[in-house]
């Protein structure tokens, strides 16, 4: 089952599908009533063996306070005259009442 979760890079594999696959591979060992138990366990199994998830942190910017950000240019694919720009970019901004920054 872990192999199937690792291969499921979009995280769409469902417990009912897994139970059906297990019932075919191991007749008599699994039954439909175990779907709910597997649904509860899938969350933990995906966290441990599934694909990585995008994490987003909400940011709040207060007026008059500065905001800074770093970006690795090589990861972003930044090039200058066709050459990879392998540097760390720094951006600083002070929040004002205008929506520009």
- pTM for the model stands at 0.43
- Asked whether the beta carbons of 76 and 46 are under 8 A apart, the reply is no
Domain ranges of the chain: 2-49, 57-96
Question: What would the pLDDT profile of 57-95 be if each residue is shown by its tens digit?
Answer: 777 777 777 778 888 877 778 888 988 888 888 888 776
Question: What would the pLDDT profile of 9-25 be if each residue is shown by its tens digit?
Answer: 777 788 888 888 888 88
């Amino acid at each position: 089952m872990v192999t199937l979760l690792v291969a499921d890079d979009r995280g769409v594999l469902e417990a009912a599908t897994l139970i059906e696959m297990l019932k075919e591979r191991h007749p008599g060992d699994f039954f439909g009533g175990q779907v709910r138990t597997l649904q509860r366990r899938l969350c933990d199994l995906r966290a441990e063996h599934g694909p990585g998830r995008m994490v987003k942190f909400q940011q709040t910017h207060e007026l008059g306070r500065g905001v800074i950000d770093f970006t690795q240019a090589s990861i972003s694919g930044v090039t200058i005259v066709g050459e990879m720009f392998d540097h760390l970019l720094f951006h600083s901004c002070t929040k004002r009442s205008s929506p520009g920054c």
